[in-house]
Amino acid sequence: MGVRPRSGRGTDVRLGRVGDVTDASAVTTAAYRAAVGRFATGITVVTTALDGVDHAMTASAFTSVSLDPLLVLVCVEREARFAEAVLTTGQWGVSVLGASSRGVSEWLATRGRPLHGQLDRVPHTTGPHTGAALLTASLATLECRTTDVREAGDHSIVVGEVLAVSTVPTEEGALLYYRGRYHTLGGVEAVRRT
């Protein structure tokens, strides 16, 4: 027998320990953020080049979707300036950030940062398939071409075919986001210390 959705406080003996349970109609933004914030994610920077200008944005809502064909997706807030740029170009890059790139992540998540020159202090190359910036200090990069866009509430789900990938030869660990904070995971240095 499945576990029925409930509302209210208490302990579900089948599950062991349960916190406050809230009906969808009463879920606040804060409660929602707290719940989904317990899903640890990696962090990427998504990029695209429009009319010779590099656009970039920190994004954790990146997911591998399909192996055949190779598809990934990123959820982009419709109000973010990156949204209009990537929907216009239809081609984009993804740079998976390592443990040392927290500063880059914070910078490219800063609302209203200057659009022009936002990558001037972030070493990068230009992806040959998309013209999108690919960050030099990343753990891996992908170049993608948009195949589908779904509007979903205040975000656009941008699905892309993977045109090229690169994994950077480094032992650096990953940069993570968990419970609204940055963390790092793994890496040779971290393993050696324990």
Which amino acid is residue 140, in one-letter code?
Answer: A
For position 57 contacting ligand FMN by CB under 6 A, the verdict is yes
Minimum distance of ligand FMN from residue 80's CB (angstroms): 4
- Residues from 73 through 112 that contact ligand FMN (CB under 6 A): 75-77, 80-81, 108-109, 111-112
Minimum distance of ligand FMN from residue 3's CB (angstroms): 30
Tokens of 103: 């500063």
Nearer to ligand FMN, 154 or 171 (CB): 154
- Residues from 128 through 167 that contact ligand FMN (CB under 6 A): none
Site string for ligand FMN, 32-51 (x = CB under 6 A): -----------x--------
For position 61 contacting ligand FMN by CB under 6 A, the verdict is yes
With contact defined as beta carbons under 8 Å apart, do 77 and 155 qualify?
yes
Nearer to ligand FMN, 18 or 71 (CB): 71
**Site residue total, ligand FMN (CB under 6 A):** 16
44-50 β-sheet, strand order: 53-59, 44-50, 91-96, 140-152, 155-167, 71-77, 62-66
Nearer to ligand FMN, 85 or 134 (CB): 85
Report the residue from 48, 54, 59, 158 that binds ligand FMN according to the rule CB under 6 A.
59
| DSSP calls for the chain | -PPPP--BS---TTTS----B--GGG--HHHHHHHHTTS-EE-EEEEEEETTEEEEEEE--EEEEETTTTEEEEEEETTSHHHHHHHHH-EEEEEE-BGGGHHHHHHTT-TT--STTTTTTS-EEE-TTT--EEETT-SEEEEEEEEEEEEETTEEEEEEEEEEEEE------EEEEETTEEEEE--HHHHHH-
Nearer to ligand FMN, 23 or 106 (CB): 106
Nearer to ligand FMN, 18 or 90 (CB): 90
Nearer to ligand FMN, 59 or 122 (CB): 59
Residues that bind ligand FMN (CB under 6 A): 43, 57-61, 75-77, 80-81, 108-109, 111-112, 177
